[in-house]
Amino acid sequence: TLRLIYTTTAVERKNVGASGPEKYTEAFIKKQIEEFNLGKRHLANMMGEDPETFTQEDIDRAIAYLFPSGLFDKQARPMMKHPTEIFPEQRKIQWGEDGRPFHFLFYTGKQSYYSLMHETYEKLLSVQKYQDQVTAQGLPLQKEKRNLAGSRWLTKIELEEMLLEKLSDDDYSRFIQLLQKLVALPCADIEEKYIQKFSKEVPVQLQKVVIEPLQYDERGVAFSTGEGTRKTARATAVVHDNGTGKITVNGTDILHYFPVLQDREQLLFPFQFLGRIGKYDMVCTVSGGGRSAQAGAIRLASAKALRSFVTEKEVEFMRQAGLLTVDPRVKERKKPGQEGPRRKFTWKKR
Amino acid sequence: MAAPSAAGLGRRLRAWLPRMVQVRWSRYSPSYLEPEAKKELYEKPLEELTEEEKEKMELKAVQPIKAAPPTLSSSVFNDPMISKFTNMMMKSGNKVLARSLMAQTLEAIKRKQLEKYHKAPENEKETIECNPYVIFHQALKNCQPIIGLSNITKGGKTYQVPVPLKDNRKRFLAMKWLITECRENKHRRTLMPEKLSQELLLAFNNEGPIIKRKHVLHKMAEANRAYAHFRWW
């Protein structure tokens, strides 16, 4: 006699783990985009705003209002963005119906990387050929120095995003070496467009901070304020012009407030660096932190206040001396299973 | 005296990446540069700068810079070598005490030298050095060993192999020897500044126990010359 064997769908289901990350079809992404646009209009309607001029910032604000979340990780909070930002770009299937791959370098494994290397090398050879032609004709080679400081190469992550392929550190460094070799040739200006694809502009001056103009008080004396922090200390400093070099902290003279020489040296550091010790008067308030932290906070506050009195070049010099950066070092937290931030418990053999 | 890590292909290829210093763990991102507080570097007018310096300045203008630590200052009295020595002398974070000891040491050196100066006859007065900073630097320079020993295990046995030392290592050893000497080999009642000033003056004249220790190290290295080929770096 035959017996019925009952099988569940679990047996018939293929091994899910081996298929890799989820693959999104083009139709799926299109549907998501349509849904997103529709949802955007609904949201604009709900918020009482015009659906036509509803920007991404408005969407973010609306979602933050409708779904408030106290989670620390911004990526974990509810978000509504265009599907291209949420679903990572994936490569379309690289082979045709008969199973033959389209690209000739498919079987290397890193087809886009190797094709990129081949392209760049071809550009290098063409530049060298052009150079030879120019020298054969006897014309001088132009050598315009590229602004090294204003641009940087793409980072490994950006290159990976561009190629849609994983790269190793070695691969990335080899590519950058090749690019640098190309740039180093005198007639590399021909391939400027190609090179620009792989370089990004760095903001030339790191002085993105706006320098406030001087304020004048009742007697016509110029003054400016600055705020500084260091560890847990918060300080505000008011620097007055036409002074004798007197410094007052929380109502007391610095000689009484900071008995240690090192702290007083730190307070005078910005003034001594600019060479204007006896010219300014300073009144500061500081709270929190310890002795050294308060001195560091006042130093930062006074340096920030002095920016308004001084030329741009001197501000750049102050920045390069480390006077204008906020010190990010704070007390490291204690970890569970250890006695302190680094110290482990005494190891006992038994 | 630790052997350097094995230099691999990856490290050589990565070495050309400019301005990126590998840090173990730091609150600053690796692209931050060290601050420079010396005023002379900034007071140079534009024409005097060479091409290299101009390029360096341009590159520096685009990069973020770390905050200056509390020990760094642009004043004339701030000396990096003396700050390093003070930090090494410091116990349990008591910088106030370490700094006062350092100040007392320099004062003691000055006093002793002035005494000698006033007692000396006219012709010898010029040879006596009174500046305590000069004496400190010269004494440390005299204490620095040129060659050191490193433990290399080969075939089960550990050999002491003579090895050239880096500048940082030389300075560190000189300061470490000075401090350990002053902490251990002194009478219970003598204070640190007095003993330190004594040792510094002896080292300045190339005498004293620290110089002897340096010579002992050099002799050991000379004796173990046969194993020098064990070094692979």
How confident is the model over A330-349, as a mean pLDDT?
92
H helix runs in B149-208, sequence order = 167-184, 192-204
Q: Check if the beta carbon of residue B211 is closer than 8 Å to that of residue B146.
A: no
Tokens of B209: 């126990």
Q: Mean of the per-residue pLDDT values for chain B?
A: 86
Q: What is the pLDDT of residues B54-77, one digit of tens each?
A: 778 878 888 889 999 999 998 888
A341 touches B at CB < 8 Å: no
Q: Which strand (E) or helix (H) includes residue A162?
A: helix A156-163
- Closest CA–CA distance from residue B127 to any residue of chain A (Å): 33
State the DSSP code for B63: S
Taking the CB of residue A47, how many other CB atoms lie within 10 A of it? 16
Q: Check if the beta carbon of residue A273 is closer than 8 Å to that of residue A318.
A: yes
Q: Check if the beta carbon of residue A286 is closer than 8 Å to that of residue A233.
A: yes
Q: Check if the beta carbon of residue B218 is closer than 8 Å to that of residue B146.
A: yes
- Closest CA–CA distance from residue A85 to any residue of chain B (Å): 27
Q: Check if the beta carbon of residue B89 is closer than 8 Å to that of residue B98.
A: yes
Mapping DSSP onto H, E and C, the string for A49-71 reads CCCCCCCHHHHHHHHHHHCCCCC
**Which chain B residues are within 8 Å of A327, Cβ to Cβ?**
67
**Which chain B residues are within 8 Å of A206, Cβ to Cβ?**
61-64
With CA atoms as reference, the chain A residue closest to B46 would be A313
Q: Is B158 helix (H, G, I), strand (E, B) or coil?
A: strand
Residue B4: what pLDDT?
45
With CA atoms as reference, the chain A residue closest to B34 would be A322
Confidence of residue A145 (pLDDT cuts 50, 70, 90): low
Residue B15: what pLDDT?
42
CA angle A197, A201, A207 (to 5 degrees): 175
**Which chain A residues are within 8 Å of B37, Cβ to Cβ?**
269, 273, 321-322
Cα radius of gyration rounded to whole Å, chain A: 32
Nearest-angstrom CA–CA distance, B15 and A173: 10
Q: Which of A123, A130, A145, A117 is nearest to A191 (CA)?
A: A123
pTM for the full predicted model: 0.78
Nearest-angstrom CA–CA distance, A10 and A15: 10
Nearest-angstrom CA–CA distance, A297 and A291: 10
Residues 1-30 of chain A with CB under 8 A from chain B are none
Beta pairing partners, A247? A282
H helix runs in chain B, sequence order = 9-14, 39-43, 51-62, 80-89, 95-119, 132-143, 167-184, 192-204, 209-223
With CA atoms as reference, the chain A residue closest to B63 would be A206
Confidence of residue B20 (pLDDT cuts 50, 70, 90): low
How confident is the model over B155-167, as a mean pLDDT?
93
Q: Is A23 helix (H, G, I), strand (E, B) or coil?
A: coil
**Which chain B residues are within 8 Å of A319, Cβ to Cβ?**
65
B46 touches A at CB < 8 Å: no
CA angle A301, A307, A311 (to 5 degrees): 160
Task: Give the phi and the psi of residue B65 in degrees, each rounded to 5.
Answer: -125, 140
Q: What is the pLDDT of residues A29-81, one digit of tens each?
A: 999 999 999 999 999 999 998 999 889 999 999 999 999 999 999 899 999 99
B51 touches A at CB < 8 Å: no
Q: Which of B63, B66, B75 sits opposite A322 (nearest CB)?
A: B66
Nearest-angstrom CA–CA distance, A295 and A311: 25
| AA identity, residue B26 | S
Number of CB pairs < 8 Å for A and B? Answer: 98
Confidence of residue B5 (pLDDT cuts 50, 70, 90): very low
Q: Which of A195, A292, A228 is nearest to B72 (CA)?
A: A292
